[in-house]
Amino acid sequence: MLLANKMTHRGLTYLADRFTDGRGLLGLRLGHLNTLTISTPLMAKQALKIHDVVFSNRPASIAITYLTYNRADMAFAHYGPTWRHMHKLCVTKLFSHRHKNSWFSVRREVSSTVVVISNCSGRPVCIGEMIFSLAKNIIFSAAFGSHSHGNEDLIGIIQEFSKLFGAFNIGDFFPWLRWLDLNGLNKRLKKARLELDYFIDKIIEEHRENPKAKDDVNRDMVDEMLDFLKDTEVIGKSNFGQAEELKNLGLTRDNIKAIIMDIMFGGIETVASAIEWAMAELMSCPNERHKVQTEIAEVVGLNRRVEESDLDKLTYLNYVVKETLRLHPPIPLAPHETADDIILDGRFVSARTRVMINIWAIGRSKSAWKDPDAFRPSRFAIGERKAAHRDFRGSSFEFIPFGAGRRSCPGMQLGLYAMELALAELLHCFDWELPDGMSSSELSMEDSFGLTVPRAFRLVAVPTLRLTCPLEI
């Protein structure tokens, strides 16, 4: 249990601060595994830019291997031709701004959520649950064409996946103890994947039985992936032909199931967590919340809703998004694995070393950030010496909430759009207060460790309608 507690983002930050010389390289021998933790911007740049190819593999824990159908997905597959083809598919077909259904689903579901919240005006609402439901509906609409597939059981499965991905499993470090299943993880893994299998298989079969033409405006992400399924029956049933790229990219059924799992987990849990953290930080800092709401009112006015074209004009909202992602990155520990032996900052690192990029620690580095633990969005304003020009798209290694290099998050643009629009609408349409006279200083800001780091306690607040116009969908 002591070892498990130290293998969190906070535990590894503590060990790096205590046992390294400030360079941010912490080597650990954990059972039969060589492990290296990187906790500073300088070393992150060395690994993710200068030696990016060597550090582009992913480690395979027992949980990851089993839940991703033996690493048939994109997020945890090793770097190589198959991964490159899957990445190209996701970037150009699934998460591209040209895939209009994905972006339209964000606008529609955010608008629906605002209407639901308006019906609770003056009463406490669980923002955490509302936002999780919002993120789920966005991803289901974009990926599956409808969020009618979703149910409470599936939400529980997704949350269980998050815990299992980040759980400490003694079998990963001491393989000869795996059969004992000392902490019951193997039973949980089988149960979780069996439940998800049923859900995903149902979605795939529904899409196979009702194929859509390439020019059909209602095509969703599953339709796009089925174009590349290695299945002559599906190809024969389709009337729209196959692109030459199909010869180069063939997806197995397990590939498609694993990518669906990536989309559900990566799109729902990470987006929901980021939005909830932003709202929590703003509830704990009323002055910052007032600044954002004042800006939105000046740009948009109180007589209409926020539109996509308004987002680029909301400068302080952009600062809030950046500051939230700095303090609460969607994935606090980015797992990598070395493909070859390498010398890193004078240290020999052998092939197949498990490398953890501590994004959480990098975002709170005292050498890179002034008052690193404080929520201060204005640090990104022009005139701030260090932070003003830092960008989270992978070029500023002090600030890499979505990773960097070849393995950076392919869904970043869609996730950012969902986060920005949801925050803008929630703050523009409603004033918010904590329930039962709670002061901002009493609000818990504890997190709960998994592959993602959601709040330990759901955020609850009281909305009051702010706009003078009707809230129409």
Binding residues for heme: 409
Nearest residue to 200 (alpha-carbon basis) of 251, 156, 264: 264
CB burial class (10 A; 0-12, 13-18, 19+) of residue 41?
A: buried
Nearest residue to 52 (alpha-carbon basis) of 400, 433, 446, 437: 400
Tell whether the torsion through CA atoms of 319, 324, 329 and 330 is positive or negative. negative
- Work out the end-to-end distance of the chain between its first and last CA atoms, rounded to an integer number of angstroms: 50
The CB density around residue 371, as the number of other CB atoms within 10 Å, is: 9
CB-based contacts of 123: which residues, under 8 Å, 6+ apart?
462
On whether the CB atoms of residues 268 and 296 are closer than 8 A, the answer is no
CB burial class (10 A; 0-12, 13-18, 19+) of residue 122?
A: exposed
Nearest residue to 332 (alpha-carbon basis) of 98, 37, 108: 37
On whether the CB atoms of residues 30 and 61 are closer than 8 A, the answer is no
How far is Cα 444 from Cα 349, in angstroms, rounded to an integer?
Answer: 40
Q: Which residues are annotated as a binding site?
A: 409
Q: Cα dihedral angle (121, 126, 128, 134), rounded to 10 degrees?
A: -50
CA-to-CA dists, residue 235 to 32, 92, 219, 227, 433, angstroms: 46, 21, 16, 8, 55
Q: What are residue 278's phi and psi, to 5 degrees? A: -60, -45
Please give the full DSSP string across 91-128, using - where no structure is assigned: IIIISSTT-HHHHHHHHHHHHHHHHHHHTTTTS-EEHH
How far is Cα 341 from Cα 348, in angstroms, rounded to an integer?
Answer: 7
How far is Cα 253 from Cα 235, in angstroms, rounded to an integer?
Answer: 14
